[in-house]
Chain A
Amino acid sequence: MVTTQAAVTVMADILPGHEAPLLQLLETAGQDAANNSLVPFGKLPTIHFARFFSMAATQDLRGQPLSARLILDADVDGSEDAFLVALCNLASDGLDTIYAHCQGYPGRAGLLDFLRDHSIPVAAKYVNTIGRTVEQVHQEAALREAIQGYLDSHASEWRCADPRRVRAAIQEFVEREPSLAWARRGVPPPEPAYIFGEAVHVALVGIAGIVLFPVILLGLPLWAFLLRRHEEADVARDITPDDTHVQALAAQEDHGVQNPFTSAGFLKPGPFRRFTGTVVLWGTNVLTRHVFNHASLIGVKTIHFARWIFIDQKRRVIFTSNYDGSLENYMDDFVDKIAWGLNASFSSGVDYPKTRWLILDGAHDEQVFKRFNLNHQLVAPFWYAAYQGMTALNIDNNAQIRAGLYGAMDETATRAWLRRL
């Protein structure tokens, strides 16, 4: 049974004048995101990551006012609706207190419907490993801990042993442990319906591609021409980030191994940019669903979840992620490894460092790109992580340990499996 992960996003307008008290509320709760009295995310075992953050009231590029927003952003096992129902059952008091600060909130009785109505789709999402649940993450970590303890306590026995004997001893140890009974069953394979469903999706994408191929072929030169025209006309202001803002961002960073990243910005105006942005994110979503769905986003292995969301009739884009390590390392990782991917997905944003042919230049200007990021980053005052202390690499390694615990293995594979410990 594959349990897929949903990217839940709920956005509501904040009542004028309520931004400050709401922020205060979220900051207080955020000091203990798992067990606070407002929304104790830790009590829902299906949540990988969750955050509340706000966006200040502003104006769009034409001067039209945009109200302040409150966003709930959660990566969960199972369906979005099941999550909203469970969240309301868990914390209706706290949610009521929060959403009382929002426009159009009808009161406790209408809470679930309000959340459902204000739920918005993502344009693209990334899940490190589709199908891996919170329970699986915790279980496989416990398995590794237990095996490590076992190996430590019998260290002298292993020095010159045959690797297969060591593996057999580990298997016997796991057999004897009642708390690890679940590990004796391997990870069940995805059910045929799921595999079929995914294959159908790929096929539809492929068919659409074939059907639209003549259109794409004819349209490409025009698109490329327009792209270069836009790119040459682009003005990318390189603004030194405000020091207070940098400090506020720094204050939320590096309290644990994982960090949240939250950012928002305006799309460059015009139908061309909206079209290009839509297509790029649609393509990203296809790739993250079918290609980059196991432990690596084109070589970057430190991201747990990420999403891109259009808001305000595609006038703005929100990007959020949950990743390992420091922000500096995160940005360096992207700049060093897949600057072209950053350029493709973010060059439609106002003030993004100038690109050529969509993927060249842009983020390669490391310092300008980092300043752009800082300028568009938002603080997430209330951020929950279900398994702080584990990197994506750790989690994947744990999964490989569990997967390789039973079953036939030749000597080379056994040595490789033992190296994981």
Chain B
Amino acid sequence: MPDLDLDDIQGLIARGYPDLTAARYVLLQIDNAAKARGWLGGLAAQITPGPAKPGDIALNLAVTASGLNKLGLPAPTLALFSNEFTTGMTTAHRRRMLGDVGPNAPEGWLWGGPDTPAIDLLLLEFARDQTTLDRLSATTAGTFASGGVSEVLRLDATVNLDGHEHFGFADGISQPTIAGLSSRMDIPANTVQPGEFILGYPNEYGRYTARPLVDSSADPGHVLALDAEGSGNADLGRNGSYIVFRQLAQDVRAFWQFVDQATRQPDGSSDAHGRTWLAAKMVGRWPSGAPVTLTPDEDDPSLATANDFTYQYADEFGLSCPIGSHVRRSHPRDSLDPAPGTSDSVSLDKRHRLLRRGREYGPPVADVFAPAPTDDPDRGLYFVALAGNISRQFEFIQHTWVNNPKFDRLYDEPDPVVANHAAIGCNFTVPAEPVRIRFTNLPNFVTVRGGGYFFLPGIRAIKYLAALAPQT
């Protein structure tokens, strides 16, 4: 079990900074490569690293393929990054795979789409409160002009919903524990090899995920660590990760009005318990976070953070937690082939995990049953996930599990909460005795408003990029 080089890992991999409740994501473009390299060199010292919990602020930096190109990374080296990263989130095939069609099409995105400015860099800023965050942002923004970069868009993620997301459900409970990263002990089924999230370490196949290795002659200053596999090359990817960043707008009113309508009593009146029950079945957890698998009929706040459960033996047919529910299909645990209920299936599940680091944005809805005001602000989730292998982890989950109307043995049921229901019809089955309760034609609740794939470099890699020779 190789030791993790925590000092070189950016802090965002180790923690989501839960105490720093104010956050802002600043999308930047590079205007002058030489100045931008200098700017990176200066910034490297301020990047929050892995080891200790930060004080009042945290700062992390990610880069796009366009950004690496502008910084002067030679094209053959850029080609060594993953294909998903270099070709981007909005290729024709990827749109189909990710469900970015119709209302989710990149043409309508606020950022990251073909009709919006190219993005080269991403600054992730975190602070203890709004005032401190604004001060941090102002300070860093003051360095942009001389640093040859300019702001494309700033995304504020400062709303505090006390650990909940906008539909009203506790979020972020199920996170994989990275073996060797934290001293916290976790069950083996939830402990994942570091290579799944940090490049340069063994992954769940016991191999090293592909990462950009450069000839040692391209690193005369020995800034980078050497390839742990022993090739003698310098590992530009080591201690780095890929970031999947998507802005997911949530139609909170549509969600609650749907579950309300679908559970009306025979006399037409609303059933407050019934609609919360249906919403919980769709999500897979109650609003408190209690898993529907463990408490199928009523919320139970004492189980709010429960995460040590499996599906196969207690709930094979989905009578507690429907097969199609959001948490079950985005993290199936032991319930899928090759051998449901056994460690083989758990091993398979561990190869498709994400480390989530996102934040909510936009003001909460005061009354979900009142009509929306004309100037209703956008709200939702800045979905930020880290993975060593975008294709096997994020894209697989999105395509084969979440957006797949055929997930497990289903026919026409993509994720009832987050999938693109405008693109394909969405039904939702709640297994029951003697026979299922089925809801049909779910409206759309989540719309993609922006997105991109980023590379979160190790800190040495940032210094390496800062020292790149100018491309003539």
- Do A and B actually bind? yes
A residues with CB within 8 A of B: 148, 151-152, 155-156, 158-159, 161-163, 166, 243, 246-247, 250-251, 253-255, 257, 299, 301, 324-326, 328-329, 332-333, 336-337, 364-367, 391, 393-394, 397, 415, 418-419, 421
Contact B434 A162 (CB under 8 A): yes
Residues of A within 8 A of B207 (CB): 365-367
Contact with A along B419-450 (1 / 0, CB 8 A): 00000000000011111111010000000000
Instruction: Give the residue of B97, B338, B351, B395 whose beta carbon is less than 8 angstroms from that of A337.
Output: B338
Report chain A residues within 8 Å CB of B92: 250-251
Instruction: Assess whether A419 is in contact with B317, with CB atoms less than 8 Å apart.
Output: yes
Q: Which residue of B lies closest to A162 (CB)?
A: B434
CA–CA, A22 and B399, complex, Å: 33
Report A-chain residues with C-beta under 8 Å of the C-beta of B337. Answer: 299, 301, 333, 337
Listed A/B pairs (24) with beta-carbon separation below 8 Å = A156-B266, A159-B432, A163-B434, A250-B91, A250-B92, A253-B93, A254-B96, A257-B406, A299-B337, A325-B406, A326-B400, A328-B391, A328-B396, A328-B399, A329-B400, A332-B351, A364-B205, A391-B406, A394-B409, A397-B409, A418-B434, A418-B435, A419-B317, A421-B436
- Given A250-B93, A325-B400, A337-B337, are A166 and B435 neighbors across the interface (CB < 8 Å)? yes
How many angstroms between the C-alpha atoms of A418 and B319 in the bound complex?
13
Q: When the two chains form the complex, which single residue of B351, B409, B435 contacts A151, counting CB atoms closer than 8 Å?
A: B435
Complex contact B434–A329 (CB within 8 A): no
**Chain A residues whose C-beta falls within 8 Å of the C-beta of B432 in the assembled complex:** 159
B423 to chain A, nearest CB (A): 13
B:74-96 near A, CB below 8 Å: 83, 87, 91-93, 96
- Contacting B438 at CB < 8 Å: which of A152, A365, A367? A152
Tell me if B404 counts as interface (CB < 8 A to partner A): yes
* B411 contacts partner chain A, Cβ-Cβ < 8 Å: yes
Contacts of A243 in B (CB 8 A): 83
**B-side contacts of A419, CB under 8 Å:** 317, 431, 436
A166 contacts B434, C-beta separation under 8 Å: yes
User: Contacts A152-B440, A366-B207; is A328 near B395 (CB within 8 Å)?
Assistant: yes
Contact partners of A158 in chain B: CB under 8 A? 434-435
Min C-beta distance of A246 to chain B, whole Å: 7
A365 to B83, CA, bound (A): 19
- Known contacts A325-B400, A328-B395, then 18 further A-B pairs from the complex at CB < 8 Å, ordered by chain A residue: A151-B436, A152-B440, A155-B437, A158-B435, A162-B434, A166-B434, A246-B83, A253-B93, A254-B93, A299-B337, A326-B97, A326-B400, A328-B391, A332-B392, A336-B338, A367-B210, A394-B406, A418-B435
- Whole-angstrom distance from the CB of B431 to the nearest CB of chain A? 7
A163 with B435, Cβ < 8 A, contacts A152-B440, A329-B400 known: yes
Q: Are B433 and A163 in contact (CB under 8 A)?
A: yes
- B residues less than 8 Å from A329 (CB atoms): 396, 399-400
Evaluate contact between A328 and B392: CB separation under 8 angstroms.
yes
Answer whether residue B189 sits at the interface, using C-beta atoms and an 8 A cutoff: no
Contact between chains at B96 and A366 (CB < 8 Å): no
Write out the residue numbers on chain B whose beta carbons fall within 8 Å of the beta carbon of A391: 406
A235 to chain B, nearest CB (A): 18
Judge if B348 is at the interface, Cβ distance under 8 Å: yes
Interchain nearest-CB distance for A278 vs B (Å): 29
A151 touches B93 (CB 8 A): no
Q: Are A332 and B396 in contact (CB under 8 A)?
A: yes
User: Which A-chain residue is minimally distant from B80 (CB atoms)?
Assistant: A240
Please, how many angstroms separate the alpha-carbon atoms of A243 and B84 in the complex?
A: 12
A155–B400 alpha-carbon span in the complex (Å): 30
- A393 and B409: CB pair below 8 A? yes
Report, as a range, how many residues of chain B touch the other chain: 35 or more
Whole-angstrom distance from the CB of B332 to the nearest CB of chain A? 13
Secondary structure type dominating chain A contacts: helix
| Cα distance, A364 to B97, chains bound together (Å) | 25
Q: How far is the CB of B181 from chain A (nearest CB, A)?
A: 23
Nearest B-chain residue to A157, judged by Cβ: B435
Contacts of A337 in B (CB 8 A): 337-338
Q: Could you say which residues of chain B place their CB within 8 Å of the CB of A393?
A: 406, 409
Residues 96-151 of B at the A interface (beta carbon under 8 Å)? 96-97
How many angstroms from the CA of A251 to the CA of B92 in the assembled complex?
Answer: 7
Closest to B432 in A: A159
In chain B, what residue has the closest Cβ to A258?
Answer: B406
User: Closest residue of chain B to A416, judged by CB?
Assistant: B317
CA distance A148 to B409 in the complex (A): 15
**Whole-angstrom CA separation of A243 from B406 in the bound complex:** 30
Q: B367-423: which have CB < 8 Å to A?
A: 391-392, 395-396, 399-400, 404-406, 409, 411
Residues on the A chain within 8 Å of B205, using CB: 364, 366
- Looking at the assembled complex, report how far the CB atom of A412 sits from the nearest CB atom of chain B, in whole angstroms: 12
6 residue pairs, one from A and one from B, having the closest CB atoms: A250-B93, A163-B434, A329-B400, A337-B338, A391-B406, A418-B435
A251 lies within 8 A of B93 (CB): yes
Query: CA–CA, A156 to B263, complex, Å?
Result: 12
Q: State whether A148 and B438 are in contact (beta carbons under 8 Å apart), knowing that A366-B207, A391-B406 are contacts in the complex.
A: yes
State in angstroms the CA–CA spacing of A421 and B431 once bound together: 9
Q: Please give the distance in Å from B400's CB to the nearest CB on chain A.
A: 5
Q: Which chain B residue lies CB-closest to A414?
A: B434
**Alpha-carbon distance A253/B395, docked complex (angstroms):** 14
Q: In the complex the two chains form, what is the Cα distance from A388 to B348 in whole Å?
A: 27
Whole-angstrom CA separation of A419 from B430 in the bound complex: 11
Contacts of B409 in A (CB 8 A): 393-394, 397
Q: B20 to chain A: closest CB distance in Å?
A: 36
Of all chain B residues, which has the CB nearest A392? B406
What distance in Å separates the Cβ of B239 from its nearest Cβ neighbour in chain A? 20
List of A residues within 8 angstroms of B395 by Cβ: 328
- Bound-complex Cα distance A393 to B348 (A): 19
Pick the residue among A161, A251, A397 that contacts B434 (CB under 8 A): A161
Provide the residues of chain A in CB contact with B440, threshold 8 Å. Answer: 152
Of B338, B411, B432, B435, the most chain A CB neighbours within 10 A belong to B435
Q: What B residues does A148 contact at CB under 8 A?
A: 438
Q: Which chain A residue shows the least CB distance to B352?
A: A332
Question: Are A421 and B435 interface neighbours, CB within 8 A?
Answer: yes
User: What's the least CB distance linking A36 to chain B, in Å?
Assistant: 22
| B436 neighbours in A (Cβ, 8 Å) | 151, 419, 421
Would you give the shortest CB distance from A165 to chain B, in whole angstroms?
8
| Inter-chain contacts of B399 with A (CB < 8 A) | 254, 326, 328-329
Complex interface: chain B residues within 8 A of A365 (CB) = 207
Q: In the complex, what's the smallest C-beta–C-beta distance from B96 to chain A, in angstroms?
A: 5
Across the interface, which residues of B come within 8 angstroms of A253, CB to CB?
93, 96
Smallest CB gap from B92: residue in A: A251
**In the bound complex, how far is the Cα of B433 from the Cα of A86, in angstroms?**
48
B353 to chain A, nearest CB (A): 14
Question: For the complex, what is the distance from the CA of A244 to the CA of B399, rounded to whole Å?
Answer: 23
Interface contact A151-B438, CB-CB below 8 Å: yes
Query: Would you call A415 and B396 a contact (CB within 8 A)?
Result: no
Encode B268-282 as 1/0 by CB contact (under 8 A) with A.
000000000000000
Give the distance to chain B from A258, nearest Cβ to Cβ, in Å: 10
Hey, which chain A residues are within 8 Å of B434, CB to CB?
158, 161-163, 166, 415, 418
Q: Closest CB-CB distance, B193 to chain A, in whole Å? A: 13
CA distance A41 to B435 in the complex (A): 39
By beta carbon, the residue of chain B nearest A164 is B434
